[in-house]
Amino acid sequence: MNAIISASDLAKDLVGARPPVLLDIRWQLTAAKAAGEPPFDGRAAYEAGHLPGAVYVDLERELASSPGKAGRHPLPDLAHFGTAMRRAGVSSGTPVVVYDGGQGWAAARAWWLLRWTGHPDVRVLDGGLPSWEGSLDTSVPAPAEGDFVPEPGAGLLDADAAAALARSGVLLDARAGERYRGEVEPIDPVAGHIPGAVSAPTTENVGADGRFLPVGELRARFEGLGVTEGSRVGVYCGSGVSAAHEVLALAAAGLPAELYVGSWSEWSSDPDRPVAVGPDPQ
């Protein structure tokens, strides 16, 4: 099963025999808070217009737990996550399509969580809401309660496992290159990267339209970063959101990868963890 779906294919599926549950995960990590401006309001954006039948899911409250030593977006309490998914109408036997405002990071976080906890059929709308050519709706649906019960599976890294993977496999850093090199750090307490990690900004997995590059180009990109068939691959970012987008890009290219959810926000908060700077992984 492909991890992504085009807007045209989604339109067909919505009128087909097994229409998917739609989840709207609009969210932004912006500098607005630091500038004293109101933060992005995903629910307000959703209420102003969303795909017909879509249910809003709050990344900060339902796809993550409170910030702390485990990072800025730690894993959510799974009971709370399961309640949110069932409220949205998610069932184990029903396809799910997630989308966001176009960046793809928040939708990928929802995709990864659902896949990691056992849902067999989840895809991300390629290009997000801007790719949708149909009408939008402002009504808030009340779907029937779903039956999905999350059960954690494989594919999750903690800090120690990420450090080990940087030596034994391929650990990709999905943040912007200047953050990896330690030239700037606008959010976390220390600049730099996990020793041994390879710089692989997730923004380079998409084209100017925000849609993923063709599979051949994605595979060529990851091969150039050291990922080959059979490689054990891990990904981290600042707080486990944009890294989920890179895991999604890898999945689209047929290359499985693990996610370090705590990411740099957890790693850099521990003064005993080593930090590398500059363009060299070490």
Q: Structure tokens of 112?
A: 């990864």
Dmax (CA) of the chain? 55
On whether the CB atoms of residues 191 and 253 are closer than 8 A, the answer is: no
Q: Which of 25, 237, 249, 255 is catalytic?
A: 237
Any catalytic annotation for residue 189?
no
**85-118 as b/e: b if 16+ CB within 10 A:** bbebbbbeebbbbbbbbbbbbbbbbbbbbbbbbe
- Distance spanning both ends of the chain, measured CA to CA: 36
Q: How far apart are CA 248 and CA 2, in angstroms?
A: 10
Q: How far apart are CA 174 and CA 105, in angstroms?
A: 11
On whether the CB atoms of residues 107 and 50 are closer than 8 A, the answer is: no
Q: Which of 17, 18, 20 is nearest to 7 (CA)?
A: 20
Q: How far apart are CA 142 and CA 139, in angstroms?
A: 10
Q: Which residues are catalytic?
A: 237
